[in-house]
Amino acid sequence: MSHAHGAFDAAEPPLPATAGVTFGVKLLVLAGILVSIMQGVFTFVAAPYGRVWPSEASAKVELPPAHLQP
């Protein structure tokens, strides 16, 4: 590389911060954020206060005492 052709040319303005990021990529990032928020809201709505879900206690089945079984 010679001194006449440097890597940085002061006559050209610098690239903006969003150079190379297409509208489709921005749309996918926004959609991913919205889907994450929506999933969190659904989980919050589906788990009211006092419920044991999601935990192992929700899968327990109460069986009758052993002396009452035939």
pLDDT value of residue 8: 63
pLDDT value of residue 70: 62
Judged by DSSP in three states, 47 sits in: coil
pTM, full prediction: 0.46
pLDDT value of residue 31: 98
Residue 1 makes CB contacts below 8 A (sequence gap 6+) with 7
DSSP letter string over 8-22? --TTSPPPPTTTT--
Are 67 and 60 within 8 A, CB to CB? no
Residue-wise pLDDT tens for the chain (70 aa)? 555 555 666 677 777 776 688 899 999 999 999 999 999 998 888 777 666 656 666 667 788 787 776 6
pLDDT value of residue 44: 85
Domain ranges in the chain are 21-46
Count CB neighbours of 32 within 10 A: 10
